[in-house]
Amino acid sequence: SETFFAQFLLEGNDKAVDWAEDKNGKQSSGRHSVFIKLAYLEWKNILPKTNVAVGLVPTPSWSLLPEKVWNYRSIEKTILDFRGLGGASDIGVLVKGKFGADDMFGYNLMIANGSGQKPEDNKSKKIYANLNARPIKGLTIEVYGDNETSLLNKAKTKDNVTKTTLKGFVAYQHEKFTVGTEVFQQTQKKYLYDSTDVKPFGIALFAWAPIVKDKINAFARFDTYNPDTEIKKAGYKENFITLGIDYMPMKNVHIMPNIWMNSFSKKSSGVAKRDSDIVSRITVFYVYK
């Protein structure tokens, strides 16, 4: 209706499998399955230019803006999602709105469990916030932050960790091309068993453009990622590259030959060499409407 909107979304992927027992009674992964990705009710214009959503809601981490501008989620997730440093949805309350001349500014505020699609196992809550602006035609700027203090669960098997994420996103969209960059740093501050902080950092650069309008696009992306900037002489820095062609034989059908590569750069000469992961693929993507 004009006032209420509801969405219920199921997702299936290689990690979503049902579990079965073999003849010896041991658990083994079974067939492909699905899980609940989104399930929420949104009250539109509860206040002027303000919506409120309640339930298993898309988070402001990346799914509300960067993922749409990148445009190729079917090829790979955006960098925070790809590196497992946030969640696409969470159970909570989201307030989003616009303000300013010609709705130049937008915002999202959310309080949620912090456990994503999984059941909650502690008393803490996660706070999300972002602010975006479109100062000129085609230009989008976003700043984002989140914070969660993860208290010990009842079994006392989880560290008391405070996670804080800061991220910036800038993109320019034109009828002939789209370019963008995303930069983030997360601080995982530990208080119990290991007092050493962990600080992942990453930068993503991407571009895509139509070669033949509504028929052929070209796309490319480069990420650099450091799992922990506090560690200087152990582990690896990682570089991710993907590029390809998006062929559309008809509207909403995409056939995309592409290269997917994640390489590893040693932080120290004493670290063993690690080979790159390289995959050549043909991705078929259909938008069902």
d(Cα 26, Cα 28) in Å, to the nearest integer? Answer: 6
Residues 6+ apart with CB under 8 A from 273: 266
- Reply yes or no on whether the pLDDT at 252 is more than 80: yes
pLDDT mean across residues, the chain: 91
Q: Is-contact 118 126, C-beta < 8 A?
A: no
Quote the tokens at residue 203. Answer: 């930068």
- In this prediction the pTM is 0.87
- Reply yes or no on whether the pLDDT at 27 is more than 80: no
Render pLDDT for 4-17 as a digit per residue (tens, 0 to 9). 999 999 998 777 88
Render pLDDT for 152-187 as a digit per residue (tens, 0 to 9). 655 555 556 789 999 999 999 999 999 999 999 999
